[in-house]
Structures are given as C-alpha cells and as structure tokens.
Amino acid sequence: MNTAPRPRASIALFAIAVLASTVASAQVGRYDAEEVRAHHKQEQAAKGKVAADAKFPNATRISPELEATKSGGKVLAEVVALYQAKQYTPAIEKAEALGSTSSNAYERSFAYQLAATAAADAGDKDKAAADFKLAVDSNGLDNDEHFQVMYNLAVMQYQTQHPAEALATVERLMTETRSQAPEYLGMKASLLAQVHRPDEAARLYEQIYAADPTNTQALMNAAAAYQQGNEPAKATALLAAAQGKGALKDAAQYRALYAGYINDGKPAQARAIIEEGVAKGVIQPSPDLAKAYSVIAQDAYAAGDAATAIAMYGKAAPMAADGLAALNLARVLWNEKRTGEARVAAQLALKKGVSPANAAEANKLAAKPGHK
C-alpha cells in the first residue's frame, strides 16, 4: 500500500480583481440645489467677482470667464429642475438640445454635463460617457468644473469597458492640472493594470503606499500587480517589509504574504507568518488555512521532517473541507510506526469524506490494529 502523502500543491494567491477597485468604486459628480453653479456663475460675472479656481492652482489650462445668455440660463435652470425631480429622460433631452444648438461654449459644456449626470443616475453609462466627453470638448466651464467633468469622463469610460480611453483621459487630467492627487494616481494605477501594464501599475501603487503607509489597499494592489506581472518575489518582499513594520492588519493581507512564501518554497517563513496571524486572532481556522498547513506539511515530509509534517497535517485535518489532510496525516503516522494514531486519523478522514480513489486506502488504515 502506498502511504506517502501526495505531491505538493500550490496555494492560490489573492485575487487580481482587487486592482480594479479604485475606478469601479469611483462616482461621478452630482448636482443639488445649493451646488448648481449656473446662476452663481452668472451673478459673479455680472458683479465682476469671478472666483479664482482653488482646486487646480497649477493647471496649464486658462480658466475661461464665461456665462450663460439670458435665454440659455433659463433653459439650464429648467434642466436643473427636471434633474432634481429625477425626471431624467426629459432633462437629458432638453440639455442635449441646448448643447447641440447653442453657440455659447459655457451653455454647451454645462448642458452636456447635466445631461451626462442625469444619464449616469438613470443607469445609461454609455450616454453619460458620450455627454461628459462633449462637455469637455466644448471647453466652456471654469477649471474646477472642467476637470471634475474630465474625471467623470474617465470613470464612465472605465465603467463602459474602455480602459485605454479612460487611461488617456486620466493622464490628460493629471498633465493639465499638474496634480498628483491620490484619486488620480489610484485611478491611473488601476487602469494601467487593466491595459496589461502591471509593472507600471505596481510602481504607482507603491508610490501611493509610500506616501500614505496607512493605505493598505494600495499595498495590496501593488502586490497584486507584481503578481500579475509575474514578479511574485517583489510582491512577497513588499508584503514582508510591511509585515515587519506591523502594517498587516487583516486575514487577506496575512494570507497574501504566507501564500507568497509557500509558493516560493519557503515553508518556514510561511509558518511563522501564519502563527503570528493566528496568535493575533487575525487568522481564523478555515478550509483555506488547512490547505496552507497541508502544503507546508508536504514540503516538510519531502525534506525528511516527519515531525513537522505530522504537526501541520494535525492542524489541517480538523478544519479541512474534506478528509484528505487527515488521510495524509494517517499515511505519515503509519510510516512512522505510530499506528494507533494513524488509525484515528484515517477514521477522521473517512468521517470527513475522501475521494473514491482514496477510500480503500483510508479503510485499510482505519482498520489496522498495528504495524506489520
């Protein structure tokens, strides 16, 4: 009977999908009664008090000092009222009609941004993206609004599955504003990963994390990007450095590091990380943790360390989803002539369930009164 544990399995790493979170969770700007700026801008212009743009003091774009005409302002006010009443379809129609016919750049830009926002709220992201682009191209808003619309355009381009276009938009946004705002950096990094430029994404996420060590999402995204770029050693090194500073806080972060060590053939380091996480109460018993213990056990047994293999399989067996870890424990115990313990482990394997291919062996080990 073959009582050797089966060949080593690898541990699946954390999901690369985390990379998209920055853009996927981004929201377009909204407009309410207090924040709609059409009439405010007209009043300021009439009084000669056009406010300087405070959000983008280093912008290369010269902020235009434009205002709506009397007739155009009336239409914009009607669109705002329709939008606030959540009558999105007529709001869009009226706004697009003004945008397509007005010769006033401010009216066109403001109308299209209202149409786009209404379309986004109505769930029509394709129309929202198209109208945000028209708002940007009309070039009639002040810098604060113009660059907010450009950001909204990037969000919509991503959410309509046009990441290359979204990347071009956010790069333009950063160039024209000369801004390294965290939300822009995060969006750019996410989009770089989306267009299969993971090395650049990883470096940008590292930059974000270095600027804000409390931003563990950026840390995890950097590690995920390195994994995506087939540079797992860099991912593990980054996480290990964070762990050394006490920056790992949750189970996913600990798992990413110990999985990296396991897949890199460093079971002792993996075990130390697991033990630290368990001691802190961050890592809880689970079938996933059982897989990690099992791989460490397999490595140990292959290296001739039966004691560690038994200890690790012993931890894995009770929390595993099936009886394979318990069966491997029984095999190692049998080979070490600890037959009574092997029998108990094999019985646990049968109780938890084993594949048909392993059932006969498990039954034999469970029934043996002693080593022969």
Count CB atoms within 10 A of the CB of residue 370: 8
Number of domains comprising the chain: 2
Nearest to 128 by CA among 28, 22, 35, 32: 28
The reply to whether 190 and 90 lie within a common domain is yes
As a whole number, mean pLDDT of residues 263-282 equals: 95
The answer to whether 294 touches 9, Cβ cutoff 8 Å, is: yes
SS3 87: coil
Same-domain pairing of 317 and 236 = no
Query: Are residues 361 and 215 part of one domain?
Result: no
Nearest-angstrom CA–CA distance, 80 and 76: 6
Let me know whether 247 and 305 are in one domain.
no
> Residue 196: which pLDDT band, with cuts at 50, 70 and 90?
very high
The secondary structure of residue 18, as a DSSP letter, is G
Domain with 348 in it: what CATH number?
1.25.40.10
- The last residue of a domain, from among 236, 259, 285: 285
Least reliable range by pLDDT among 44-58, 108-122, 135-149, 300-314: 44-58
Residue 320 and residue 235 share a domain: no
User: Taking the CB of residue 175, how many other CB atoms lie within 10 A of it?
Assistant: 11
CB 102 within 8 A of CB 111: yes
Residue 48, pLDDT score: 44
Triad 268, 271, 272: Cα angle to 5°: 90
Q: pLDDT of 212-227, one tens digit each?
A: 999 999 999 999 999 9
Residues 97 and 199 in one domain: yes
Domain limit, last residue, from 231, 261, 285: 285
Tell me, yes or no, whether 169 and 24 share the same domain.
yes
Answer yes or no: do 20 and 71 share one domain: yes
Considering Cα of 278, then 284, then 285, then 288, what sign does the dihedral take? negative
Return phi, psi of residue 51, to 5°: -70, 145
Residues 6-55: pLDDT tens digits? 544 444 544 333 454 555 445 555 544 344 454 455 445 444 444 444 78
Residue found by looking up tokens 């946004």 in the block: 173
Q: What is the pTM of this model?
A: 0.80
**Domain end marker among 250, 285, 320:** 285
Q: Which domain holds residue 200?
A: 16-285
Q: Are residues 224 and 255 in the same domain?
A: yes
pLDDT of residue 356: 94
Kindly state whether residues 342 and 261 are assigned to the same domain.
no
